[in-house]
Amino acid sequence: MARDPRHDGGEHRSLSALRIAVVREIAAALTGVPAEEVPARLCGALLNLLPVTGLALNLTAGKTYTTTLCATDATATRLADIQFTLGEGPGVRAAEVFAPVLAPDLSSDARRWPLFVPQALETGARAMYSVPLGNSTVVIGTLDLYRDTAGKLAPADLASAVLAADASTAVLVGLDHHRTTDEGVASWLHGAGEAHNEVYQAAGMLMARLGATADEALLLLRARAFREGRTASEVARDVVHRRIDFDENE
């Protein structure tokens, strides 16, 4: 079993030693792993590296598209879905500014994210720390960490999170993007973002029915989800299964 780098010297370790520990952990977890298993293994390796309750890797493209590549638990998935629905939160901000965004005590962040915080607290999360994936020119997503207790990340742990995000970016960029499934999806993305697939299916239905653009359709789903205290995925599921409908006056 790979050694937990959290116990290799604490805050006094050099940056190079941290980088080596991060790379070793991820390499050990991914060696010989089929492409479709990489996301889950990567999330597991990251959780071993970092002193948090759970985490998710979320991929982004533009301001409206987000998909959860992998998550270590239902709470991490829920936090990603809430941010996607509301368009605010630590991960959203980290992608915007390409810098770590720290919320060591979510209960004190209601002014920063007035919509996100109440729903995030309902999940049991008490602290979040988000680190962008990519570079200052192209942001491909975020590494969103959470704890069920409030508290700051130690400097060495924050450094580990940044290095873990850099290593994750390298892993994702280095994967075979040409090998696809029968559906034409990159094999390493197989199964990723299933919760959001219905969102885009529902958006397509709204585009056809209302003559809306893709962005407008997503905004309609998000607005209704917010009014009803649900996530966009939950509303979309009802649209796809024709349990609810939208009209031109939504």
Q: pLDDT (tens digit, 0 to 9) for every residue of the chain, 250 residues total? A: 344 444 444 444 588 888 898 989 999 998 888 877 888 899 999 999 999 999 999 988 665 557 888 999 999 999 999 998 888 999 999 999 999 999 999 999 999 999 999 999 999 999 999 999 998 788 989 999 999 999 999 999 999 999 999 999 998 887 654 444 444 434 444 455 555 567 777 778 888 888 888 778 777 877 888 788 787 778 878 888 888 877 654 5
DSSP 223-247: HHHHHHT--HHHHHHHHHTTSS---
Range of the domain at 213: 193-240
Which CATH number do you get for residue 132?
3.30.450.40
According to the model, what pLDDT value does residue 111 have?
95
- What is the spatial distance between Cα 249 and Cα 64, in angstroms, rounded to a whole number? 22
Q: What is the pLDDT of residue 121?
A: 97
Number of domains making up the chain: 2
178: Cβ contacts below 8 Å, ≥ 6 apart: 186
207 and 113 fall within a common domain? no
Give the residues across from 101 on adjacent strands.
130
Q: Do residues 142 and 220 share a domain?
A: no
161: left (phi over 0), alpha (psi -120 to 50) or beta: alpha
The last residue of one of the domains, among 174, 205, 232, is 174
CATH number of the domain encompassing residue 223? 1.10.10
Neighbours of 39 (CB within 10 A): 25
- Identify the pLDDT of residue 62: 61
Beta bridge partners, 145, equal 55, 129
Same-domain status, 17 and 73: yes
Residue 184 lies in a domain: no
User: Is 204 in contact with 166 (CB distance < 8 Å)?
Assistant: no
* Any domain includes 246: no
Tokens of 134: 């990519």
Residue 13 in domain: yes
Q: What is the pTM of this model?
A: 0.76
* Whether residue 20 sits in one domain with residue 135: yes
Domain annotation covers residue 150: yes
- Do 33 and 130 fall within a single domain? yes
